[in-house]
Structure 1
Amino acid sequence: MKRTIIAAVLMSIGVMAHAQSSVTMYGRLDAGLQYRTGVPGGNVLQAESGDWGESEFGIKGAEDLGGGTKAIFKLEMGLNVMNGNFGNGSLFGREARVGLTNDTYGTFKIGNAGAAEISQDSWDLDPQLMQQYAIATLVRGRNWAQAGNSVEYTSPVFAGLTFKGQYDLANSSTWNAGSPGSAPGQLGTTSGFGSAQGRSDGFKLQYNGPSIELQAIYDEIRDQYGKFSNVYLYSRSILAGGTYALGSVKFYVGYQHLAAPDASEAGYDNAATPVGASLPTAVDHEWGGASWQVTSATALTAAIYHANANNGNGNATLYTLGGTYNLSRRTFLYTELGYVRNSSTSNIGLGNGYGDPYGTSGATNGNGGGAVGSSINEGPGYGRSQFAANVGIMTQF
């Protein structure tokens, strides 16, 4: 059935090309190897897809409607190069939207925002550009949130300023709560977070100058009951930061605060807490780093991230070093090193954020204390450190 759907989409491209002003097929493939220490049973070498960025395939297009207005659409799927499966929980889980755009009035989109959920715009403030060990690591994947049922507006640029607003309906008779079957997928899952998507929304303000970028994002994601019940999954997020370019070096700094005032045992899937701690309701996360374009082909990045969870859940610091080497305009090699150091009541690891969620190592549940699809938590254990390194190749078309 999946092959039939994909074939139908590809066969329709020729038809769409006549009706649209432009239709473009695009994508990228990322494959590599990762070595990690401190996982249950020892160390592990893994074949990986998407350590630098998720592999994807997409189709996008625009039709000129006249008067400066265009109809636009985008269909995008995530891919796992190692096994050929699509990711993000559904065929076009990364994005499936249609809309209108006008240089004077802005852009309106409606559909499945998927990986374009507004929190993911924070990649622009991340020295490691949301690689495997980066801005999402210490908040256990919170900045990789996804959302369906989305309505979005982006303003034109006024004196360097841009506004974006996004509203994701729960599609339920209960205002904040979701209906069964409305859940979008997340990276590493097949059924999304929770049994349904609760209402989520957010907005972004961004300023771009000749050598500076400033950005602020407010984002909130509710669980299937309309609650902020897990600070790493269903929470409010306030994020702000900026970048400054000085010659071939670009500096980054940022801060994020997460809040889950409705934190509950159910929200964390009854995960066991560290001794002397209770469920976290807030996390403070800050980072800084720099990227250096050494030559036209070679770039290096370095960054430090720190996060502190309240209610006795400790803190963790992540040190990262990465590099890329361009083989051509479309293909590059990459590598990244990551080292996370935990306090005695923190057990954050260098998995994908969902492989080591909150809770005691070895717990088995869907989103609060064990790896999705696994019976073992991939984190290093409380008070322990973890080192990881990856190397891979990315090609784009």
Structure 2
Amino acid sequence: MAVVFLSGVALNAHAQSSVTLYGRIDNGIRYESGLPTGHLFTASSGDWGCSWFGLRGTEDLGRGTRAIFNLEGQLDTMTGASEGALFSRHATVGLANDRFGTFKLGNLGAGELSQDSWPVDPQMMQRYSIETLVRARNWASASNGFEYQTPTWGGFSLKGQYDLTNNTGWNSASSATGQGRSDGIEMLYQFANAGGRVIYDEIRGADGSFNDVYAHSRSLLAAGAYSFGPVRVYAGYQHLSAPNATDASVGVASSTQPAGVSAPTQVDHEWIGAAWRVTPATGIMAAVYHANANHGNGNATLYTLGGTYDLSKRTFLYAEMAYVRNSATSNIGLSDGPYGNNDYDPATNTASNGNPNYGHAQAGAFVGVMTAF
């Protein structure tokens, strides 16, 4: 249960403020095969969704306007360690008004627009989901930013973001942040049984260019969902573009690549799927994702099947299985590994990442429990 502190504001009798402590904990067990070093059986945190805690507050300023803030951090709840800075996910303050919209300023973090794609993903951006074949590009984050979201007009709304580099070079990063300039715009719509969104966002590299299609690129995503009684169907498309990408800019040696393969500058990504609420407590989700990259990098297809079972309004069990199949010159894995060869050394049984060998597949499954407070 959220802990809420309500207090009157002494200098303004009509004003009221509140602060809410909230969070969630997700722990489970995962098994994956097809890794360059063999099979992996591990205890894991965050396979269904990140574990986090935060503070969210509001103060009534009168005339329909509220001051708002949000502080949120991410945890590895298997070890108790913080994932990144204390409030790496959100650290914002702003103003909200039902007639004029919402403005936020600060570390937008996990609020970067690409992360808004989870409502149009049948697997809701679990470990095996929309983000897998694009090597975590949909988990982009950004700091030093500001955001404005309009009110909802007849089911439609708009959201825009802009993130500064804090550097004298307009697009390139300062040594303090390492973040190139980023920006984006999102259009959302929601009707009785349908919802969808179009998201365009740009994430630049430290040199100010689009130099890695899976990290520093332009992204255009259009997707939607429609409900038929207890079944909700999903479909979507995403195009990634990084015209400045080279083998050097993505950190791979040309000699380690298959013949005729170099760093991709474009990726096309499509998916379809469905979620079925079998009973009030039980849900089943299935989806197929496909991605094709240029410059000889081939294609990959991800097949997923998952389910949830609600133990209460706050706690549920979850499970998901996945299989990713690669064409001869593709090596996308289930672990969001970076682009490039896994550099497997059989003498020491070590690899630089969890990508499968080129043309090989990977399979995985996990189960766990999530509780929120």
The equivalences for 1:42-57 within 5 A come to: 42-57=38-53
Q: Describe how 1:48-197 pairs up with structure 2 within 5 A.
A: 48-87=44-83, 89-182=84-177, 196-197=178-179
Identity score, percent:
56
**Matching residue of 1:32:** 28
Alpha-carbon separation, structure 1, partners of 2:121 and 2:32: 22
Secondary structure of the structure 1 residue equivalent to 2:138: helix
1:117 counterpart letter in structure 2: E
User: Does residue 364 of structure 2 align to residue 378 of structure 1?
Assistant: no
Task: Give the SS at the match of 1:304.
Answer: strand
CA RMSD of aligned residues (A): 1.6
1:208-230: CA deviation from partner (whole Å, max 9, x where unpaired) = 11111121000110001100000
Higher strand fraction (1 or 2): 2
Amino acid across the alignment from 1:94 = R
* Structure 2: gaps (5+ residues): 10-15
Q: Partner of 2:53: helix, strand, or coil? A: strand
1:226-274, Cα deviation, whole Å (9 max, x unpaired): 0000000000000001100110000000000000001123421134432
- In the alignment, does 2:219 pair up with 1:219? no
Deviation at 1:376, TM superposition (A): 2.6
Distance 2:35 2:195 in 1: 38
Question: What amino acid sits opposite 1:161 in the alignment?
Answer: F
Q: Output the amino acid matched with 2:324.
A: V
CA distance in 2: counterparts of 1:158 and 1:128, whole angstroms:
28
Matches within 5 A, 1:338-357: 338-351=322-335, 353=336, 356-357=337-338
Q: CA deviation at 1:379?
A: 1.4
* 1:153 alignment partner AA: Y
Equivalent residue for 2:298, pick from 314, 338, 357 = 314
Counterpart residue type for residue 372 of structure 2: Q
CA distance in structure 2 between the partners assigned to 1:150 and 1:375 by the alignment: 37
Distance 1:144 1:90 in 2: 16
Does residue 226 of structure 2 align to residue 250 of structure 1?
no
Separation in 2 of the partners of 1:229 and 1:77? 29
TM-superposed deviation, 1:18: 6.2
The one-letter amino acid of 1:29's match is I
Secondary structure at the residue paired with 1:120? Answer: helix
Tell me the alpha carbon deviations over residues 40-61 of structure 1, each in whole angstroms, 9 at most, x when there is no partner.
2211101100000000000000
Q: Distance in 2 between matches of 1:17 and 1:91?
A: 27
1:207 aligned onto 2:189: yes
Task: State which of 342, 346, 357 in structure 2 corresponds to 1:361.
Answer: 342
Which residue matches 1:335?
319
CA distance in 1, matches of 2:198, 2:272: 16
Partner of 2:259: 275
Equivalents in 1 of 2:7, 2:76: separation in Å?
Answer: 28
Check whether the contact 1:40–1:380 (CA below 8 A) recurs between aligned residues: yes
Secondary structure in 2 matching 1:251: strand
Q: TM-score, normalised by structure 2?
A: 0.93
One-letter amino acid of the counterpart of residue 71, structure 1: A
The number of residue pairs the alignment matches comes to: 358
Choose which of 273, 283, 286 in structure 2 pairs with 1:302: 286
Unmatched 5+ residue regions in structure 1? 1-12, 183-195, 365-373
Counterpart residue type for residue 389 of structure 1? A
Partner Cα separation in structure 1 for residue 357 and residue 26 of structure 2? 29
Q: Which runs of 4+ in 1 moved over 4 A?
A: 16-20
- State the TM-score, normalized to the length of structure 1: 0.88
> Which residue is 2:13 aligned to?
none
How many angstroms does 1:181 deviate by?
1.6
Give distance in 2, aligned partners of 1:102 and 1:303.
Answer: 38
Do residues 293 (structure 1) and 277 (structure 2) align?
yes
Contact residue 125 and residue 253 of structure 1 kept, 8 A = yes
State the SS of the aligned residue for 1:123.
helix
Give the structure 2 partner of residue 188 of structure 1: none
Structure with max Cα Rg: 2
CA distance in 2, matches of 1:175, 1:181: 15
**1:341 offset after TM fit, Å?**
0.1
Residue type at the aligned position of 1:286 = E
